[in-house]
């Protein structure tokens, strides 16, 4: 099913982003153990250089993470996560012109990040923690609410996602988060079977909820590998583009990727195709 993009808006710490094209969120992991790029940007200099490179390649947002959330990962403490994040966030906030996002589920890490200048909280636990919701409301940041619940393998993933979005957005709004600050992420690879992860892309239009922007984030993940012979994670660029293309055709407004230049090129083509479809 082809669904034309409609311009949605997303407010991130006082700035309103009009999503009249597909936005690209570039991934910057300052971790030793992320599944595909662990250790590559562990130094501050290398992380800053990568952030600048992604901006030059066309990234609209830089999403910085301080711990792996891959299957089977060992969580790190908030203090350790902040030790990794702080020097990088201090170095890139103000140096790059696009908004900086922090990928964390620790409220104190999120709060300290906002104090530095981070404008988006990307929480893989979907703002489950009331304190995370409190800080998000206080700072007026953009909020990426991701679905991370374990689903029964027989469950209809789109119905489950819509029910989750309804419940969690209501909680967030009740705790003071402005609806305009909310973006939704179906959580590819989190608590879902291979078939359910495929269904997210195949039926993306069915899970779009209200007027909230939708983010697709499948870059180099296991669902990509299992679909194409399981190459190493850093060799799943084309598969990632294919998966995200299906999501964009279904209405995804943003995609989160490791490989920015390839994603930008694909997104601009899809935007052009969808624009022609709308014109006709």
The region, left, alpha or beta by phi > 0 then psi within -120 to 50, assigned to residue 57 is alpha
Q: Are strands 15-19 and 8-12 parallel, antiparallel or unpaired?
A: antiparallel
Alpha carbon distance 278, 280 (integer Å): 5
Choosing from 8, 84, 168, 221, which is the catalytic residue?
Answer: 221
Residue 269 near residue 22, CB atoms below 8 Å: no
Q: Is 221 a catalytic residue?
A: yes
- Burial group, residue 28, by CB count within 10 angstroms (0-12, 13-18, 19+): buried
HSE on the CB side for 249, CA within 13 Å? 15
Choosing from 8, 84, 168, 256, which is the catalytic residue?
Answer: 256
Q: Is 128 a catalytic residue?
A: no
Active site members? 221, 256
């Amino acid at each position: 099913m082809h669904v034309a993009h409609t311009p949605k808006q997303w407010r991130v710490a006082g700035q309103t982003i009009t999503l009249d094209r597909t936005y690209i969120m570039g991934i910057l992991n300052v971790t030793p153990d992320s599944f595909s790029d662990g250790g590559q940007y562990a130094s501050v200099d290398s992380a800053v250089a990568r952030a600048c490179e992604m901006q030059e390649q066309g990234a609209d947002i830089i999403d910085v993470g301080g711990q792996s959330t891959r299957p089977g990962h060992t969580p790190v403490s908030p203090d350790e996560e902040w030790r990794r994040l702080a020097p990088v966030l201090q170095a890139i906030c103000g140096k790059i012109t696009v908004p900086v996002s922090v990928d964390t589920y620790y409220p104190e890490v999120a709060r300290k990040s906002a104090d530095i200048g981070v404008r988006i909280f990307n929480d893989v636990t979907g703002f489950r923690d009331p304190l995370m919701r409190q800080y998000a409301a206080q700072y007026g940041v953009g909020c990426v609410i991701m679905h991370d619940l374990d689903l029964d393998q027989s469950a209809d993933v789109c119905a489950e996602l819509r029910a989750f979005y309804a419940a969690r957005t209501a909680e967030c709004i009740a705790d003071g988060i402005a609806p305009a600050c909310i973006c939704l992420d179906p959580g590819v690879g989190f608590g879902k079977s291979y078939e359910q992860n495929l269904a997210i892309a195949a039926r993306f239009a069915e899970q779009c909820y209200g007027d909230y922007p939708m983010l697709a984030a499948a870059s180099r993940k296991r669902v990509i590998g299992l679909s194409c012979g399981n190459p190493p994670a850093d060799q799943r660029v084309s598969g990632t583009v294919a998966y995200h293309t299906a999501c964009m055709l279904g209405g995804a407004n943003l995609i989160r990727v490791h490989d920015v230049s390839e994603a930008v090129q694909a997104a601009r083509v899809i935007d052009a195709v969808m624009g022609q479809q709308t014109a006709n």
